[in-house]
Amino acid sequence: MELLKSSKKYQLFINGEWKNSISNQFIEVINPATGNIVGQVASGNIVETKEAIDAACDSFFSWSKETSKARADILMRLYFLLLENEEYLASVITNEMGKPIVQARKEVQTAAEHFRWNAEEARRIYGQTIQSSEKQKRLSIIRQPVGPVAAITPWNFPLSMVARKLAPALASGCTIVLKPAEQTPISAIELFKLAEKAGVPNGVINLVIGNPKEIGDVLLEDKRIRKITFTGSTEVGKLLYKNAAKQVKRVSMELGGHAPMIVFEDCDLESTVNQVVKSKFNNTGQTCVSPNRIYVQQSIKDSFINLFKEQVQSLKMGYGIDENIDVGPVVNQSGLDKVKKHVEDAIQKGATLVVGGTVSDKANHKNGYFYEPTVLDHVDEQMLITNQETFGPVAPIFSFETEDEVVKKANNTDYGLAAYIFTENLSRSVRVSEALEYGMVGINDTVLSQVEGSFGGIKESGIGREGGPGCLEEFLETKWITSTIRD
């Protein structure tokens, strides 16, 4: 059942008001599983972005002076509201981006947890006093919010990526202008409705949707916006980073990845294969931490592939609103074209097809963007799939002989987001996790997106971290205060 309606219209949220754009234009949001329109969203550009910035700036003083307890209370109310509305929000996610409902529910829970975690952390913004070497001096360091913030988010986790920015910004005392992805704005709109209900004051959070470049340029050119927090591709991230440099704005960048997954011969094979399948086909391979290079030690490669193939063949693909669907569509036609191109290129350069390899006709909706869960063997360094994010349900398998060899291969990329190791050998797990040039490493574990952890990458995968014990650092400035005391 399609829960959203093609005729339903959604508005922008600026200074506490829901409104259409002055152009009165709308963006159609398409369900990638059915090809149906699931809603129309007001498309605002320069004028609305400026209004949103004005609102974020006008409300900054009062919000930043609010007690951290009052801010935490609002975030906790939002946490409970998200959980109360879990089923509806999950259906919105499934309808606008195609993720199976079971995975969409988890996304709602993760989004909620970000509000809870940041509410808890809001109470722990500490300064310092320092003993001076001079008797008359008093020295201290205080932490203050950076100011009004611009946030730009991707489509692949349309709710939790917004939560990962909104929650720490609000907890720190920052105000915010958010531009979500134009493919999936409805999740963000529903989250803003709940934030309003939770008591976020007018102007503190603002939502603009429309032409990414126009909105992005206005946000970056305005001196009053003191920070940009971005999640998306490395390509767009570099552009924003360059433009942010003109005013030395603070930046946080959560960018693309090309995760190596290293399967050593001493792993627990059955549990490894279960985890590799779950992680690779989660969100139809459209995650920044998706294993894009699966390195399997030569001695166990045949047994690994046999077990892997069996499990991949049993995955059920289709419109994810059905409870038993494991793999949904990719997000749109250009996503599908990229997957096709990577598979064709690999096969043409010598990879062998273990399973899949075609646009699917098995899914129950012929207008959806479905590609069969695919496994490729004999993949090598010359292929596109080894060097670019595929962002689709394709598992490329490589083989290796020694630990040193595989670490070198795994590090041979400009990306540095996530890496995984499967081994039962403790010393090896320590050696290899320390040698991998990545911001996150999973050892016999593929679930990296946990609020308690510091999520983020190194090299061209990003700057800064989201979640974890340092979650508010990205939204706080350090101020050093020194004073001279008279006797």
Residues of this chain that bind ligand NAD (CB under 6 A): 152-157, 161, 179, 181-182, 212-213, 216, 231-233, 236, 239, 254-257, 288, 389, 417, 457, 462
Instruction: Fill in the DSSP letter of residue 420.
Output: E
Is residue 254 flagged as an active site residue?
yes
| Minimum separation from the CB atom of position 183 to ligand NAD (A) | 7
CB atoms within 10 A of CB 358: 13
Q: Which is nearer to ligand NAD, 173 or 442 (CB)?
A: 442
Strands 176-179 and 205-207: parallel
Q: Using CB atoms, what's the residue nearest to ligand NAD?
A: 216
Residue number with CB closer to ligand NAD (173 or 462): 462
Distance CA 456, CA 466 (A): 7
Q: Using the minimum distance from each CB to ligand NAD, give the nearer residue, 104 or 300.
A: 104
As measured in angstroms, the least distance from the Cβ of 237 to ligand NAD is: 7
Distance CA 297, CA 484 (A): 65
Give the integer Cα–Cα distance in Å for 82 and 103.
16
- DSSP sequence for 271-334: HHHHHHHHHHHGGGG-STT-EEEEEEEGGGHHHHHHHHHHHHHT--BS-TTSTT--B---SSHH
Q: Which is nearer to ligand NAD, 242 or 408 (CB)?
A: 242
Q: What is the bridge-based pairing of β-strands 176-179 and 149-152?
A: parallel
Runs of H (alpha helix) within 123-231? 160-172, 185-198, 212-221
Instruction: Please report how close the Cβ of residue 27 comes to ligand NAD at its closest, in angstroms.
Output: 11
338 vs 340 by CB, closer to ligand NAD: 338
Q: Which of 96, 113, 254, 389 is flagged as catalytic?
A: 254
Q: How far is CA 175 from CA 142, 155, 228, 328, 451, in A?
A: 19, 22, 12, 35, 22
Shortest spacing between CB 211 and ligand NAD, in angstroms: 9
DSSP state of 349: T
> How far, in Å, CA of 125 to CA of 428, rounded?
38
Q: How far is the CB of 244 from ligand NAD (least distance, A)?
A: 11
Q: Which amino acid is at 270?
A: E
| Region for residue 229 given its phi and psi (left: phi exceeds 0; alpha: psi -120 to 50; beta: otherwise) | beta
Residue tagged active-site, from 57, 174, 267, 288:
288
Nearest distance from C-beta of residue 304 to ligand NAD, angstroms: 26
Q: In angstroms, what is the minimal distance from the CB of 276 to ligand NAD?
A: 19
In whole angstroms, give the CA distance from residue 217 to residue 446.
Answer: 36
Cβ-Cβ contacts under 8 Å for 56 (sequence gap 6 or more) = 148, 149, 175, 176, 177, 203, 204, 206, 225
CB of 70 to ligand NAD, least distance (A): 30
Q: In what order do the strands lie in the sheet with 259-263?
A: 352-355, 374-377, 394-400, 291-297, 259-263, 418-422, 440-443
Q: Count the alpha carbons within 13 Å of 209 in the hemisphere toward its beta carbon.
A: 30
Comparing CB distances to ligand NAD, the nearer of 148 and 173 is 148
Rounded-to-integer distance, Cα 91 and Cα 159, Å? 12
Residues catalogued as catalytic? 254, 288
